[in-house]
Chains A and B, each alone.
Chain A
């Protein structure tokens, strides 16, 4: 085993150059001032941004829950479908991903606008137009739409590997469909669920494009604040780095909590 570890060296170099070193730089900036001297002021300033942090976390959680509610059943259906149907569904799932993320979000802008597609449809059937753009709901929709595949794919790939004989065995032992789902499929799919949650929650919490395009600038999230601190009119890399660091720590904490309570929460989610 050990002899082959050199195979991993390109990856190690990659991780060091593109993850470890940048992380070190973030820490360095977060704990120094403009002149490079050690300071805790940047961390102390985080309090003033608490509102943005809270909004981002709440919206990230909501988007993740929606993705899970939508994605889990679909992943299950996909994994039990015929091979051809699986391929078709996979294709339909991946097709929008071939288009640039920015363009997809732009498209939602024109769909949700007051003068947009949905309101044109509503008007044509004589209904009152809805105000959707520039709201929190629009941002969450954007997150769910953009990150849903990242929930479905890991769950699907785990479920697909559950052998048919397990279902037969459950059936033989008298479990009905629901019991099989709860006692066999669900526990086995947990690793996929956890990966899915991570892959949706992290980009949702840190997004800044979706909130800018669908939130109309006034629904700033923590990602927007960090972006402004780096490329805005009054850049402050140190506070920006401190905020990024805090965001990372918060994400790590939420992941740890989620892993711990996952079991109970999930069973509840499936009962609906």
Chain B
């Protein structure tokens, strides 16, 4: 008897689980049978949470094109999956240096801007970025800067110097400081601190950066993370960390004492929409890119993500607290910031080796 009961219960659980996924499908939307695969960073689109607009669903509703939405957690992961052919997608949203690398390797399609009329919403200064000098391959989605975040309850105001990166090396907060766990960002911080170019290929400079990161090891005490930095700052587990400026508002929602500043020579990044050569439906992909550039859609996305928008018409409509100098640094401030370019294979291999050495040091 009990056996039957437990069987029934498990069956019911299974069924309800199936139903949650199965029944969630929209009814009443006339589908054209077309579909596209979109490959983007996690938490990087307005998805209907907290009363926001589900922009993918809206696209499906208006065009009848089904959107399959997939996430990656690093540019390199995305690159590896597309390069190896294990994934065919129609729209990707990588960062600057990865776009230039993919252009170099003929992995991106030229866009037909006749199909992307909303491109006119993009501000002039974002139209031909250094990583895509002809502007033929990419349409800017969001941009931002690396910043230092700290918990103002525990970090002494006297220790905070907005004109330097020293806070990340302050021994007073040993064990409470986090650091990026990808070599490019981590070395970028050291390069900015020492005043070198963020795209340095000079091995002496990189060696000096390595030494600087070694000095930081006792302060970081093994706290090298990626996206987990967000959770650890939010929960108060960490007091000081480098992260992306656009995340400040979302962090402040759960910990109002978190503050941030953009130190000198910080990295600034632009994430842009591109179409890889493995695309199966280019016109639908362009429709999607155009849709994401539409004012109301871009506004919903910007409000949800919190990262800076390359569209003035969107920025004007944002709340005041989301448009301060921290989120939209002045042109002078930006002039001293630097975008990552693609490095030579040799430098990448050198950095990888140094990164492994560093991780061994911090064991």
Contacts and interface: CB of A to CB of B under 8 A. Distances in A.
Contact of B236 (A84, A115, A215, A232): A115
Given A51-B360, A114-B175, A115-B235, A217 B225 contact: yes
Contacts of A213: 228
Given A231-B74, A232-B352, A216 B2 contact: no
Given A231-B74, A233-B348, A234-B351, A219 B363 contact: yes
Contact of A87 (B6, B175, B231, B351): B6
B222 A134 contact: yes
A220 interface: yes
B18 interface: no
B223 interface: yes
B124 interface: no
Nearest to A91: B6
A266 interface: no
Given A113-B235, A114-B237, A219-B222, A233 B351 contact: yes
Contacts, number: 74
B104 to A, nearest CB: 15
B343 to A, nearest CB: 8
B184 interface: yes
B181 interface: yes
B77 A217 contact: no
Contacts of A228: 352
B237 to A, nearest CB: 5
B70 to A, nearest CB: 15
Contact of A233 (B231, B237, B352): B352
B358 to A, nearest CB: 8
Contacts of B231: 109-110
What bracket does the count of chain B residues touching chain A fall in?
20 to 34
Interface in A189-241: 212-213, 215-220, 225, 228, 230-236
Given A114-B175, A233-B183, A215 B222 contact: yes
A234 B362 CA distance: 21
Contacts of A134: 221-223
A230 B78 CA distance: 11
A234 B348 contact: yes
B196 interface: no
Contact of A84 (B2, B223, B362): B2
Contact of A216 (B81, B223, B351): B223
B359 interface: yes
Interface in B212-229: 221-225, 228
Interface of B: 2, 6, 74, 76-77, 79-81, 175, 181-184, 221-225, 228, 231-232, 235-237, 345, 348-349, 351-352, 356, 359-360, 362-363
Given A134-B221, A218-B359, 14 more contacts: A91-B6, A113-B237, A114-B175, A131-B175, A213-B228, A216-B223, A217-B224, A218-B363, A219-B363, A231-B80, A232-B183, A233-B183, A234-B351, A234-B352
